[in-house]
């Protein structure tokens, strides 16, 4: 599973359904879809952060503080798809 792509794709879909709900607040199908996406997005973020590092400053806590400084950035060969570069082939 490509965790970073899951986070981006699910985040994009979550924004889109939120915009739809702004103009269709009584659409129960869209609201249910929003809740499903939100759960999947939170799960993808949690999985990515467990494997790599926090995505935003508000998700930093004691045991992962400044983890992104100590590990390679994705463009340096680190955590490209939810695993370290030795376990991940992106080509």
Best CA proximity match to 9, nearest among 55, 41, 32, 31: 41
Residue extents of the structural domains in the chain: 3-87
pTM of the complete model: 0.69
* Both tokens assigned to 67: 């983890």
Over the stretch 27-72, which tens digit does the pLDDT of each residue have? 999 999 999 999 999 999 988 888 877 777 777 777 656 666 776 7
Own/partner contacts of 36-43, CB < 8 Å, gap of 24 or more, are 37/10, 37/13, 38/14, 40/10, 41/7, 41/10, 41/11, 41/14
Q: How far apart are CA 67 and CA 71, in angstroms?
A: 6
Q: How far apart are CA 70 and CA 52, in angstroms?
A: 11
């Amino acid at each position: 599973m490509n965790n970073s792509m899951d986070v981006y794709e699910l985040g994009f879909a979550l924004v889109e359904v939120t915009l739809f709900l702004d103009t269709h607040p009584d659409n129960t199908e869209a609201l249910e879809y929003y809740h499903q996406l939100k759960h999947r997005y939170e799960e993808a973020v949690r999985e990515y952060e467990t494997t790599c590092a926090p995505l935003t400053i508000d998700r930093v806590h004691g045991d992962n503080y400044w983890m992104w400084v100590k590990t390679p950035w994705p463009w340096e060969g680190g955590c490209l798809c939810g695993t370290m570069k030795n376990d991940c082939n992106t080509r």
